[in-house]
Structure 1
Amino acid sequence: MAILPKILRRYAKNSSRVYLEQFVQQAAQRMQPGQRMLDAGAGDAAYQRFFQHVTYESADFCQVDKAYATMTYVCDLAAVPVEDQRYDLILLTQVLEHLPEPQLVLKEMLRLLKPNGTLWLSAPLFYEEHEVPFDFYRYTQFGFQQQLTQAGFQVEQTQWLEGYYGTLAYQADLAVRSLRLNPRFYGGGWAGLGGSLAALLLRPILVATSLLFSRLDLHYKFTEAGMCKNYALIARKPA
């Protein structure tokens, strides 16, 4: 019974990753050969392959315990060691929540962009704490707009990255990973055994639910109600 969630999860498709890749591909498609972009907070540089037709540069502080690609600049994103107006486009995906002083970084991104250059940004509203202790904020769409306009950007597009089904899929998967099976977590005794058995029976149901909602999210991106998992925004530096 314990291996069933693992087997089911193999067939799950993370709609957030699919939609995020589509968002990044849209950014890449808007760039012309000869232009220059910065992948800010690049991590493992998973999206470098989409920018083969332009000059790709990356920056990260490389202090989280995870795998990093070779960076063009190892630095604080609030102080990237390059000249003003170097980039036509900056990608800042799933990074803003990890910045203790987001205004400083956004103003630095504005400095780095050419006039009319664009910042492509995504970050979570509904997601568990991760890459601790470097996890500081969650943003509503109004929080994003306030941060960007205060930094000097013009916000051109604000959208849900995935639909509400994606949020439900994530919540079900989080429950699978969070519900404990040890009876002592439910008070011990007969009540503890009952709670443990209920959690055990719920796990494959929750995995199947996560799989179903993730598939639904890829076929129908429902954004009319509920809470999104991530927002995706495009902001422009004024000419």
Structure 2
Amino acid sequence: MFSKKLIELNSSRFYLEKFVKEAAESLPSRAIVLDAGAGNCPYKNLFSHVKYEAADFCQLDTEYGAIDYVCDLTSIPVDNNKYDLVICNQVIEHVPEPEATLKELYRVLKPDGQLWLSAPFFYEEHAIPYDFYRYTQFGHKYLFEKIGFKVKRIERLEGYYGTLAYQLETASKSLPTNPKFYGGGFSGLIGTSVVLFSRPLFKILSFIFSWLDTKHKNVASGYCKNYVVVAEKPNT
């Protein structure tokens, strides 16, 4: 019924790659970039025209890419004012001291350099136990401006359809089918019957809304799954 491409579609990944590609295309060939919290370096290929460096603490049981600096992001072993741009995707929620981390990213940026950051607002706990915070747009603005950044833009990464797709996907996997979770007896039977019918329907609707999100980014209603921030270190 659905193509493999549609089944694998994730509008958050679609928009995140678009966001990072925009950052990469803004840079001249002589630029130096830091991928802060790079993980397996999924966006390294987008920066093939510049000098790309990666930093991560490498403490999770996961696959990492070629990391230049294995370190805490509050203490990156490079000189002041080194980078033209820093990208920091889905990382700031994982650091226990976000203000100290942003101060360090500010330090390593050149004057007029930019930080391109994404972080979840509505998302399950992950990379446990290194998952500490969720950020509203106002929380981002407060932290960035407190440190000295000039905020250029804060916006939703994906639209509400993407958030809804994520919630439906979660429901399709997480709603229990044991009658005891619905009170047992007759109510348990009804609850289980509804869930058994709904779970595959939620899965299908999740595919559809994720696809719709890539076609029309609805930011006029609902709430977002992730925010993105573009901020600049002033040349003062």
Instruction: Describe the SS at the equivalent of 1:116.
Output: strand
Q: What does residue 92 of structure 1 align with?
A: 88
Q: What does residue 204 of structure 1 align with?
A: 200
Measured in 2, the distance between the counterparts of 1:172 and 1:93 equals: 24
Backbone CA RMSD of aligned residues: 1.8
Q: What does residue 64 of structure 1 align with?
A: 60
How many residues align? The count is 235
Q: What does residue 195 of structure 1 align with?
A: 191
Q: CA deviation at 1:186?
A: 2.5
Amino acid at match of 2:171: A
Q: For residues 21-63 of structure 1, what are the alpha-carbon distances to aligned partners after superposition, in whole Å with 9 as ceiling and x for unaligned?
A: 0000000001111211000000110000100011110011111
Measured in 1, the distance between the counterparts of 2:61 and 2:172 equals: 24
Q: CA deviation at 1:7?
A: 9.4
Instruction: Describe the SS at the equivalent of 1:64.
Output: coil
The answer to whether residue 207 in structure 2 is matched with residue 217 in structure 1 is no
Whether the 8 Å CA contact 1:98–1:135 is kept in 2: the answer is: yes
Whether the 8 Å CA contact 2:91–2:119 is kept in 1: the answer is: yes
Q: What does residue 111 of structure 2 align with?
A: 115
Q: CA deviation at 1:177?
A: 1.6
**Counterpart among 136, 140, 160 of residue 136 in structure 2:** 140
Measured in 2, the distance between the counterparts of 1:225 and 1:184 equals: 36
The answer to whether residue 133 in structure 2 is matched with residue 131 in structure 1 is no
The answer to which of 7-16 and 83-92 deviates more is 7-16
Q: What does residue 32 of structure 2 align with?
A: 36
Which contiguous aligned blocks of 4+ residues in structure 1 show a shift greater than 6 angstroms?
Answer: 6-10
Q: What does residue 145 of structure 2 align with?
A: 149
Instruction: Describe the SS at the equivalent of 2:135.
Output: coil
Q: What does residue 51 of structure 2 align with?
A: 55
Q: What does residue 222 of structure 2 align with?
A: 226
Measured in 2, the distance between the counterparts of 1:7 and 1:193 equals: 34
Q: CA deviation at 1:217?
A: 0.7
Q: CA deviation at 1:197?
A: 2.1
Instruction: Describe the SS at the equivalent of 1:212.
Output: helix
Q: For residues 102-136 of structure 1, what are the alpha-carbon distances to aligned partners after superposition, in whole Å with 9 as ceiling and x for unaligned?
A: 00000000100000000001101111111111111
